[in-house]
Amino acid sequence: MLIPYYGDEATAGVYRSEAKSGTTKFFCFASTYVIKKNKRATLCITFVHPGDKLLDVLTRLLSRVEELHIKIKRLLLDRQFAQVAVIRHLSEKPYVSIMAIPKRGKTMKALLHGKKSFRTPYTMKSSEHGEITFPLLVVCRYQKGKAKKHGVEYLTYAVLGQCKSTELQIADEYHRRFGIESSYRMMNQVRAKTTSRKQEFRLLLVAIAFLLQNIWIWYKWNTAMACRKTKLRFTLTLDIFVQFIKHAVEKLFGTLDFVNLSSQHR
């Protein structure tokens, strides 16, 4: 998750990436997101420094999940984690890990043919970490005019661990991972904006935003269950929830009704 930054590029913790929102400077965060019985919540976050390796970031997040005594059944990761070191690490875990694999290189593109899904061994190489061979799942799906596209779409996944699900079941399950992108958008709706250069303070604001989002999700689910029994309609949207928070903050700390402007003449 990248949050745009427009200040001095020498600021500690600034992460450089492709241009977005008028800047190439960002503060970067990684998070874990749980899905259980169709309930979704953000569990933990960590700050990503420019020199951090993805395996170190992943290890920090998984360690925090273990501290919360949460048992992982399926771990779904985005394509940025498709590295030899990460795949080797997850291959030793007792749970199933599924991650998207970028469709790059001649060897990969040679597999993208036909109209039937299949699994095959695939070798990924790294100059730093050597190579590793893992089960690659190639899923063939018909686009049926989605986004004005037709024909066969090829989806490629690394499937680590004992997984008995079919190819289409894995693709459908992985598609649920994209809910984490929605969590980022909702988090930004409640995140307090700041010009502070302190990465610790920015991390705190992101953590508070995710906490408020989780509270709203918890309230929404519990109220929705009550509404089903009474046939009432749940109407507390996130926007209304944010307005309640703003009103409470203004009531507690007050607001400015005017600003004194003065000029000095020499």
213 and 181 belong to one structural domain = no
Together in a domain, 172 and 205: no
Token pair for 261: 């402007």
Picking from 157, 190, 223, the residue at the C-terminal end of a domain is 190
pLDDT tens per residue across span 148-178: 676 778 888 888 888 878 878 888 888 877 7
Whole-number pLDDT of residue 234: 62
Same domain (yes/no): 93, 124: yes
- Position 78 scores a pLDDT of 85
If asked whether residues 168 and 202 sit together in one domain, one would say: no
Burial class for 215, CB neighbours closer than 10 Å (0-12, 13-18, 19+): middle
Nearest to 3 by CA among 29, 42, 32: 29
Radius of gyration of the chain (CA): 23
For residues 89 and 180, state if they share a domain. Answer: yes
Q: Helix or strand or coil: residue 58?
A: helix
Q: Same domain, yes or no, for 183 and 228?
A: no
pLDDT at 263 (0 to 100): 60
Residue 44 pLDDT: 87
- Domain-terminating residue out of 140, 170, 190: 190
Are residues 178 and 201 both part of a single domain? no
What pLDDT, on the 0 to 100 scale, is given for residue 225? Answer: 64
Q: CA–CA separation, 2 vs 14, rounded Å? A: 10
In the numeric block, the tokens 């928070």 are attached to 245
Domain-located, residue 234: yes
CA distance 75 to 174: 9
Mean pLDDT (the chain, rounded): 82
Nearest to 28 by CA among 206, 164, 234: 206
pLDDT at res. 14: 81
pLDDT at 237: 82
Does residue 60 sit within a domain? no
Look at phi and psi of residue 12 and say left if phi exceeds 0, alpha if psi is from -120 to 50, else beta: beta
How high is the pLDDT of residue 102?
Answer: 87
Domain that holds residue 221: 196-253
Residues 6+ apart with CB under 8 A from 165: 173
Q: Choose one of 154, 170, 190: the last residue of a domain.
A: 190
Q: In the chain, what is the straight-line distance between the N-terminal and C-terminal CA atoms, in Å?
A: 49
Instruction: Write out residues in the chain with pLDDT < 70, as ranges.
Output: 143-148, 150, 224-234, 262-266
Instruction: Check: CB of residue 31 under 8 Å from CB of residue 44.
Output: yes
The closest of 35, 90, 44 to 68, measured between CA atoms, is 44
Residue 229 pLDDT? 63
Instruction: Tell whether 120 is covered by a domain.
Output: yes
pLDDT at 233: 65
Q: What's the Cα-to-Cα distance from 211 to each of 50, 56, 215, 218, 248, rounded to whole Å?
A: 25, 24, 6, 10, 16
Does residue 138 sit within a domain? yes
Q: Does any domain span residue 7?
A: no
On whether both 184 and 211 belong to a single domain, the answer is no
**How many domains, in total, are found in the chain?**
2
Q: What is the pTM of this model?
A: 0.77
Does some domain include residue 128? yes
